[in-house]
Structure 1
């Protein structure tokens, strides 16, 4: 039985390239494609997949939120993040949030296939770069970048605030009260030693977390 792969990326050319790569393998097949996080959630409610390959930067629902929702709806389905953002920018936060591997889109095709197989076998896939990041976190925790000190939910709120979302919008998207979002915002600002939403946006741009 071929492993059923779900591709989630808003760029058709990326999905087409991944489909061509994956379908060269006898043990893997693309069973579904989604151009947005919302489309991905609709698909996993209807069909079963062995793995989802997920982008971060997408319209309507970014990969950070989509990862969390996929885990809620289909906790047994592992997720591999394949992003245009470098591993040192997002990987540690998203590994903590539950993804089983993280690769940048310039990874070698052989490594992408290897990661899919490892994750479908029930293990995490750690690239050499990500393994180094995790080792540094364990041996030198003080060297963490500020956004890496945030909890999963704090990171979600940080990402949305930095992208220009209001507390009301964030509350609606995360099914929280505005008061709870404000509490998270206060925690994020304190942990990152920042004062305003504009500071969060500047930090995110400077660290290439948003473009």
Structure 2
């Protein structure tokens, strides 16, 4: 039986997903978690085939958790199920190790298709993601600067945009203050901004911060 884990900080969302998936023959719920830390603790006790991951988690963000999963649990397939539309995060998440990306507004059939696709070791691309990828490949539209950031750059960027200091970020990500400062300088250049305040403005303008 295909075992699916649900990681989302909203209990009502987890309940809806659990009910939806449990009704399907051949799919079971391995565990549920409301935070990244809880998800990692559960993974030590209970294996899963596919992990449904929300990006807006308390504490360790979904971006942080994705990086940790790729380092410690490389065999787990990760399907990002986010409230953010594809234009904001999808391509960056796929580049940084996610096996698929879906908006929470998706229908039941699409969710089941995505779960089964990534469980088979393939990437799942929604129709909107396919359009974005085609535009990028064919030159029909330049990707937003934040979509080109590396996984670590995206982690640092989101924390800076939330107002965290260089020292706090270094402690959270196990990086030296000097290294975080280097990432900060690189981000300012790549995003075309001049200060942390402008980084935050960029994040808000592009809908990259959780409500």
- 3-state SS, counterpart of residue 6 of structure 2: strand
Unaligned 5+ residue runs, structure 1? none
SS in 1 for 2:175: coil
Q: Which whole-Å CA distance do the structure 2 matches of 1:54 and 1:20 have between them?
A: 17
Aligned to 1:20: 19
Q: Deviations over 1:20-47 (max 9, x none)?
A: 0001111111110000011001111222
Q: Does 1:163 align with 2:162?
A: yes
- 1:197 counterpart residue number: 196
The equivalences for 1:1-211 within 5 A come to: 2-140=1-139, 143-210=142-209, 211=211
Q: Which runs of 5+ in 2 are unaligned?
A: none
Count of residues in correspondence between the two structures: 210
Q: CA deviation at 1:81?
A: 0.3
Contact 1:67 1:99 in 2 (8 A): yes
How does the TM-score come out when normalised to structure 1?
A: 0.97
CA distance in 2, matches of 1:126, 1:142: 18
Q: CA deviation at 1:7?
A: 0.3
Q: Is the 8 A contact 2:135 2:141 kept in 1?
A: no
Superposed CA RMSD: 1.1
Q: Go from structure 1 to structure 2 and tell me whether the alpha carbon gap of 1:142 and 1:151 turns closer, same or farther (over 3 Å shift).
A: farther
Superposed structure 1 runs of 4+ greater than 3 Å apart: none
TM, length-normalised to structure 2: 0.97
Shift of 1:141: 7.9
1:143 partner SS: coil
| 3-state SS, counterpart of residue 79 of structure 1 | strand
